[in-house]
Amino acid sequence: MIPISISYEEILLRLALATVLGGIIGYERESSHHYAGLRTHMLVSVSSALIGVGSIVLFNEYYQVTTMDPLRVGAQVISGIGFLGAGAILKHGSSIKGLTTAASLWGIAAVGLFTGLGAIIPSLMATAIIFLALTLARYSDYLDKKRGLLSIEIYARDEIGQVGEIGSILSDFQASIKSINMEHQQNNEVVYHLQISMINPKKTDRLGHLIAKMRQIPGVYKINVE
């Protein structure tokens, strides 16, 4: 194999670029108040870049006496970053937070690694895509905050197609189902426990129309809303 020529100036440039790219993603995470923010992403990115650059340097040093694969050390970054990502995931009751930040750490580790290996253009592209994805996710979270969460209990005699009817009605009212549980009762009765998301349900009469529509589902005889 032919050694890869790389100067100290280029090494410094790659490390600096990896730090900047990590900082871009880290700033987005920190500005949305996540635990792993600017410093964490910068450190992950520059450390990954160092492993990538170091692999090349070691290969240049020892290629004549060993069949060393310069990508072997770098490959461990992809699997090893999972331990750090797991620390960003928090479980609160039935909800889980931090998955997006864990994914951004994994992504920026890959960006840093390939920046260190010299794949600059793909790294820039990946950073732009990750940043765009996180920005769109923040916009989605903003829309969710404008939507009211409601808990609905639907009491009914169990009949075929009720769940489909419920989903169709909610779709007509632009309400999304966050969770649904079905509890079977005696005498072939069932209780549907739903948590739905709906834009400003209490400021308009849309909720009243929604409940009225659900009462028309065959078998439904009682609806509670919280």
Which range has the worst mean pLDDT, 2-6, 122-126, 222-226? Answer: 2-6
Residues of the chain with CATH 3.30.70.260: 147-225
The yes-or-no verdict on residue 141 having pLDDT over 70 is no
Q: What is the mean pLDDT of residues 211-218?
A: 89
CATH C-level class of 147-225: alpha beta
Lowest mean pLDDT among 1-5, 65-69, 157-161: 1-5
Q: Are the CB atoms for 5 and 47 separated by under 8 Å?
A: no
Query: Is 135 or 120 the better-scoring residue by pLDDT?
Result: 120
Confidence of residue 94 (pLDDT cuts 50, 70, 90): very low
Mean pLDDT of the 125-132 span: 91
Which residues of the chain form beta strands (DSSP E)?
Answer: 90-92, 95-97, 147-157, 176-184, 189-199, 220-225
Asked whether residue 15 carries a pLDDT value surpassing 80, the answer given is yes
Among 131, 123, 132, which Cα is nearest to 27's?
131
DSSP 86: H
pLDDT of residue 95: 52
Average pLDDT over every residue of 205-226: 86
- pLDDT score at 147: 60
